[in-house]
Amino acid sequence: MPTSLPISVGLFLDAVGDAIAARREIWHLADDAGFDHLWHDDHLLSLAGGRPPDLPIYESWTLLGAMAEATQRVRVGVLVTGNIYRNPGPLAKMAATVDHVSGGRLEMALGTGWAARELTSLGMPAAWLPDRVEMLDEACTVLKLLWTQARSDFDGQHYRLVDAISEPKPVQKPHPRIWIGAEASGTLRVVARHADVWNTPGSGLEADLESSRILDEHCRDIGRDPAAIRRSVVLPRGSVDEVCGLAESYAAAGFSEMILDVSGDDAAWRVEQVAIPALARIRDLAAAPIG
């Protein structure tokens, strides 16, 4: 009989805002309190959530290196890295660097990326969704090649490697865990092929259950055990009871990675008054077997 999965609990703090000292406080709180992972998002403009585009927002991978250096035990990552913002060749180097700086604590989360305005405003090419899905699929292959092979060749529709060398390799072997954020069926096929963890931004339990069911089908289509992919969700802001109640519902549906959103001007208060009190209660849950 399959056994239930242990629950891990993380924090998400978006990259908007210019108070680095306040951000460091959150990093230290997360590290000291014993959260399993710590995340921020990846945007070039502050467009998410209907905000004006001219708010200060930090570049995510530069910020991630600082977060890795400022913490000791919590695992760190970008939720999720927009693949369209960076070529996967240099990204493989960036990820390996952060894995070394952190002592092997990197979680590698990827998504297609979606905000065309962020690209066109800086003179970078945008891409339609089908192309973005293909690019993400190829990028995962490129990353894994560069992380594991002494020399790599790859001839894709969007990316190409020619006798490529990428040293040093990541600390983690064979490579850091790959998380992929996805909701659409096409992107879920990429999850089935490449991901160790699937992430949903929390579109609602029923919608996420349907996406999980579709992911199961894609896994079976390629002969992969759906249970090999852990399920993660970003839980919205709320009271301790609201957050824990939602986590319990997701755990019963097989989700084992819970990420608490503490973004906003009251982030430190929310960590201390909501996330830390909820941590032990959520950890005590057990995720139901999936697949």
Residue 34 has pLDDT above 60, yes or no: yes
**Residues 59-76: pLDDT tens digits?**
999 999 999 999 999 999
pLDDT score, position 210: 96
Domain count, the chain: 1
Is residue 91 predicted with pLDDT exceeding 70?
yes
- pLDDT tens track for 150-164: 999 999 999 999 999
How far apart are alpha carbons 136 and 155 in whole angstroms? Answer: 15
pLDDT of residue 39: 98
Model pLDDT, residue 2: 53
Domain extent, residue 76, equals 5-287
Q: What pLDDT digit, counting tens, does each position of 192-226 carry? A: 999 999 999 988 999 999 999 999 999 999 999 99
Average pLDDT over residues 18-42: 96
Of 1-10, 51-60, 65-74, 161-170, where does mean pLDDT reach its minimum?
Answer: 1-10
Average pLDDT over residues 14-34: 95
Residue of 243, 252, 246 lying closest to 279 (CA atoms): 243
pTM for the whole structure: 0.96
Average pLDDT in the chain: 95
Contacts of residue 92, Cβ cutoff 8 Å, sequence gap at least 6:
142, 143, 146, 147, 166
The partner residues of 78 in beta bridges, in order of sequence, read 40
pLDDT value at position 170? 98
Contact 23, 29 (CB under 8 A): no
What is the rounded average pLDDT of the residues 39-60? 90
Q: In whole angstroms, how large is the CA radius of gyration of the chain?
A: 18
The whole-number pLDDT of residue 112 equals 96
Residues 221-259 have pLDDT tens digits of 999 999 999 999 999 999 999 999 999 999 999 999 999
Please tell me which residue, 115 or 86, carries the higher pLDDT value.
86
Task: Give the span between the Cα atoms of 61 and 83, in whole angstroms.
Answer: 12
Query: Residue range 12-21: average pLDDT?
Result: 93
The pLDDT of residue 3 is 67
Q: How far apart are alpha carbons 107 and 67 in whole angstroms?
A: 13
Query: What are 109-155's pLDDT values in tens digits?
Result: 999 998 888 999 999 988 999 999 999 999 999 999 999 999 999 99
Q: Which pLDDT score is estimated for 1?
A: 39
CATH number of the domain that 108 lies in? 3.20.20.30
- The mean pLDDT of 12-29, rounded to a whole number, is 94
In Å, what is the CA distance from 149 to each residue of 108, 141, 193?
18, 12, 19
